[in-house]
Amino acid sequence: MPFTKLGLSGALLRAVADQGYTVPTPIQARAIPAVLAGGDLLAGAQTGTGKTAGFVLPILQQLSTRPSPHANGARKPLRVLIVTPTRELCAQVEASVRTYGKHLKVTSTAVFGGVGLGPQASQLRRGVDILVATPGRLLDHQRQRNVDLSRVEILVLDEADRMLDMGFLPDIKRILAMLPRGRQNLLFSATFSDEIKALADKLLDQPQTIEVAPRNSTVDAIAQRVHPVSRDQKSRLLAWLIGHHDWRQVLVFTRTKHGADKVVRSLQADGIGAVALHGNKSQGQRTKALAEFKRGSVEVLVATDIAARGIDIDQLPHVVNYDLPNVPHDYVHRIGRTGRAGADGEAISLMCVDEHAFLRDIERLIKREIRREVIPGFEPDPNEVPQKIFAQRGRGQGQRQHQGAGRGNAGGHAQNGRGRNGSDKRPSPKHGQKRGNGHAGWVAGR
Ligand code: AMP
């Protein structure tokens, strides 16, 4: 089905065509008519499915066809609120609003933590139609009376599962309490935990439910391989793989921020251009790292799961799991960065003896076995003794760690620049090393 059959206006179709898109993705084909119909929506879709245009396009259509409400005083009323878990996603969603709204007179802005409040405040005080915000920063502005949420017509909670994982439920409840009744609510989530179902029950009124095949069952376009290797040979193997295959654009995932920095240092020592993207980096550093990677001036971007979530890099040819994630869903999110929009991709995992249980959990989740391939010269040491792996964060179902004091909060702090319980202040964990503080999680890597 072409885009032209979805009921979108000429101005929006032109903007879509400018992007080179002709056929809507499955989530777009179903979400666009559903949102245009005006009811609530519960959509199961994750980054990489085209979900952003799936809500941005019909929202823009709604705004441009409905009469603009009268301003109360000087400021024009805020009509659409889109809440996202991370700064990167926030900026990207707002960029999409601008991209698709470029032939319309709709105004938008993004507010997120890690940068000054001042410029955001003046923008908000001038008034915008669409606000894209992370929860903490939105509440900061609300407290300062920079934003009035009482006239919002459409609310979007994007990546709601990730927001709950990051400990944002109290903030979301506070935000919901400020919104008017009778609005349209759209909830997007990659997974449907009991917590998400409870939130949906409370928030949505007779929602239309759309679930596009989650990536964990549509990963056929992605060639997946595991290279078993000794713990201390991973960095050598990574450098070898990059050099041997002449990879020019690789996204590498590590479990920890410290791990990401270590990998960057070791690649740089091997003469490979690498930058890190994680929560200890300032917003400016993160934007710069991403820009360098996209431009091709560095070959490797090394990222932690939360930092990488939502970043918009199209059709990466190679994703490498330097560490296997202890949260199986993270594997699916990670490899979803490659093979996007139908392009082939390759996801490679370096697995040491500590991570066998993680692989088992991942294979159970994706319901398939991933091919193991030992690279000659990098055979794992059969006498290597497994060590426990310190898990930096955890979430919901299927996680291999005890629930401790810092559940999900390290990520919340990292992404939003708001201290939540100080869990980030712990010394950086070193994977592969035994440590224990009685609070944070231990993962048994057998
Ligand atoms: P999203 O899941 O919203 O993060 O989108 C994933 C990527 O798919 C983005 O880089 C979009 O630019 C791209 N995209 C969105 N819609 C389409 C489409 N209909 N055809 C091809 N690519 C698309």
Domains of the chain, CATH where assigned:
3-211 (3.40.50.300), 222-403 (3.40.50.300)
More confident: 138 or 333 = 138
pLDDT score of 436: 28
Considering Cα of 170, then 175, then 394, then 264, what sign does the dihedral take? Answer: negative
Contact by Cβ (8 Å): 264, 289: no
Q: Is the pLDDT of residue 399 over 50?
A: no
Protein residue with least CA distance to atom 10, ligand 1: 314
| pLDDT value for 72 | 61
Residue 176: the pLDDT is 97
How far apart are the C-alpha atoms of 268 and 260, rounded to whole Å?
12
Which residue blocks in 296-445 are alpha helix, DSSP H? 305-308, 328-335, 356-366, 409-416
User: In the numeric block, which tokens belong to residue 220?
Assistant: 């056929």
How many Cβ atoms are within 10 Å of 282's Cβ, its own excluded? 11
pLDDT (tens digit, 9 = 90+) per residue, 235-245? Answer: 999 999 999 99
The pLDDT value given to residue 139? 98
What is the predicted pLDDT for the residue at 319?
92
pLDDT value, residue 74? 63
Structure tokens that stand for 58 in this block = 């019909």
* pLDDT interval class at 68 (50, 70, 90): confident
Question: Mean pLDDT, the chain, as a whole number?
Answer: 82
Q: Which long-range contacts (CB under 8 A, 24 or more apart) does 392-396 make?
A: 392/255, 392/256, 392/257, 392/304, 392/429, 392/440, 393/305, 393/306, 393/327, 394/326, 394/327, 394/441, 395/165, 395/327, 395/329, 396/161, 396/164, 396/165, 396/191, 396/193, 396/195
Q: How confident is the model at residue 221 (pLDDT cuts 50, 70, 90)?
A: low
Token duo for residue 407 = 């559940």
Q: What stretch of H or E contains 318?
A: strand 318-321
Alpha-carbon span 334 to 307, nearest angstrom:
11
Banded model confidence at residue 45, pLDDT cuts 50, 70, 90: confident
- CA-nearest residue, atom 12 of ligand 1: 50
Strands of the 108-111 sheet, one edge to the other: 108-111, 130-133, 80-83, 154-157, 184-189, 41-44, 208-211
Would you state the pLDDT for residue 216?
A: 41
Higher-pLDDT residue of 278 and 96 is: 96
Distance CA 11, CA 8 (A): 8
Query: In this structure, what is the dihedral angle of CA atoms 303, 305, 307, 311, given to the nearest 10 degrees?
Result: 90
pLDDT attached to residue 442: 27
pLDDT value of position 279: 79
State the average pLDDT over residues 343-347: 77
Q: Kindly state the average pLDDT of the residues 409-425.
A: 32
Please report where in the chains the tokens 């085209």 appear, as a residue.
50
Neighbours of 137 (CB within 10 A): 23
What pLDDT is attached to residue 73? Answer: 63
Residue 311 C-alpha to ligand 1 middle, in angstroms? 12
Residue list, ligand 1 pocket, CB within 6 Å: 21, 23-25, 28, 47-53, 312, 314, 340-341
Query: Tell me, what's the pLDDT at 58?
Result: 98
CA gap 335, 76 in Å, rounded? 42
Compute CA 414 distance to the chain's CA centroid, rounded to the nearest angstrom: 13
Closest CA to 302 of 242, 351, 345, 375: 242
Report the amino acid identity of residue 113.
Answer: G
Residue nearest to atom 16 of ligand 1 (CA): 50
Measure 131 CA to ligand 1 centroid, in angstroms.
21
What distance in angstroms lies between residue 394's CA and the mean position of ligand 1's atoms?
28
Pocket test for ligand 1, best of 16, 19, 84 (most atoms within 8 A of CB): 19
pLDDT, residue 21, reads 87
User: Which residues share a beta bridge with 275?
Assistant: 301
pLDDT of residue 311: 67
Bridge partners, residue 208, by sequence? 41
Q: What percent of the chain has pLDDT over 90?
A: 58
Spatial separation of the C-alpha atoms in residues 2 and 21, rounded to whole Å: 9
C-alpha 427 – ligand 1 centre gap (Å): 38
- Max Cα separation, the chain? 74
Q: Residue 144's pLDDT band (boundaries 50, 70, 90)? A: very high
pLDDT beyond 60 at 354: yes
Q: What is the band of 6 on the pLDDT scale with cuts at 50, 70, 90?
A: very high
- 46 or 114, which is more confident: 114
| 92: pLDDT strictly greater than 80 | yes
Other CB atoms within 10 A of residue 261 CB: 17
* Separation of CA 293 and ligand 1 centre (Å): 19
Residue 402 scores a pLDDT above 70: no
User: What pLDDT is attached to residue 401?
Assistant: 38
CA–chain centroid gap for 239, Å, is 27
CA distances from 289 to 295, 298, 308, 342, 382 (A): 10, 9, 12, 26, 38
d(CA 335, CA 41): 27
Quick check: 392 pLDDT over 80? no
Q: Whose CA is nearest to atom 23 of ligand 1?
A: 50
What is the percent of the chain where pLDDT is above 70? 81
- Please give the Cα distance from 444 to 313 (Å, whole number): 33
How far is the centre of ligand 1, averaged over its atoms, from the C-alpha of 312 (Å)?
9
> What residues have CB less than 8 Å from 243, skipping those under 6 apart?
270, 272
The overall pTM is greater than 0.85: no
